[in-house]
Amino acid sequence: MAIHTFTDRNETQTPGTNPAPGKELLDFDIPELQRTLKLAGLLQTSLELESVLQYFSESVQETVPFTGLEYVNNALNFSFNFGKTDRHSCAYRLSIAGDALGEMKFTRNKRFSEGEMEQFENSIYHLVYPLRNAILYQKAVQAAQLDSLTGANNRAAMDRCLERELELAHRHDHPLSLMVVDVDHFKLINDTLGHSAGDAVLKSLTACMKETMRASDMLFRYGGEEFALVLSGTDLDGARQMGERLRAAVAAYPFVYNNKEIDVTVSIGVASLGRRDSANRLFNKADTALYQAKKAGRNQVHSSAEKQGRQS
């Protein structure tokens, strides 16, 4: 596998290497120029990272045959795949102005020629700026969905996620559960140790929940000391088990502020989606179960009254 580092040509061009005036145009292939202009135009039509890469993949495949293209950006936790992976590959590490833009790999069942790799580079040259803009947009979107204190997703992100997951669950008749988590006696922590201690507890709680939750679970800070987890593909029994595992993990977690340990527990309410439930109704069911857990003495998990999340 060949791995190349690709940077914007303007950053690496050596003085004196420009062709004589007029020569570049005389030697230029008109169909190639048309393809290049088409690609450049397409890449400017969207800031969505997946759309930009889709346009790029389809356009490049018209010029150089390949069976698969893979793009990975670890900083964004983003990957894109076009076609299927094959035996031979040519890979590029993309960067511009010192900023890493991720890695791209083309594959097929026979080796790429030097001329074909040069065509890849010509196409990538037109990709790097739209790709950078799409990455910046993606980062801005992600930042707008994060809680600045804990790093968990925020309430706006939860509202969008819950609506999407409800639609999928109803369409495919899959189970879906919601867990609402509240820190017990949080006001007492703020009043006795100060708000900085309260902030430290919320950060540590977020870390504890991320360590305990499954990869498919989605964590949100709903507000104040209240968090929510969307449990895709999980029925009410599974949600109860997950809630109990999380409750026990928090009770055993070492919460420390200024070298002093703080006893922290949580109360948890869980509910599963019924066939006629809206996002608001599902949340209200979980919130009511949370109230019952706190009323019963806290540091407990309670579920909604429905026995099964898919009941009417």
Question: Where in the sequence numbering do the catalytic residues fall?
Answer: 225
In angstroms, rounded to a whole number, what is the distance separating the alpha carbons of residues 271 and 283?
A: 8
Strand order through the sheet with 176-183: 218-223, 226-232, 176-183, 266-272, 301-303
The two three-digit tokens of residue 10, written as one number: 């303007």
First to last CA, the chain: 56
* Cα 91 to Cα 1, 8, 39, 117, 118, distances in angstroms: 7, 16, 20, 10, 12
Question: Do residues 273 and 239 touch, judged by C-beta distance below 8 A?
Answer: no
Q: Identify the CA nearest to 270 among candidates 148, 175, 199.
A: 175
Question: Do residues 95 and 11 touch, judged by C-beta distance below 8 A?
Answer: no
| Burial letters 259-293, b for 16+ CB under 10 A, else e | eeebebebbbbbbbbbeebebeebbebbbbbbeeb
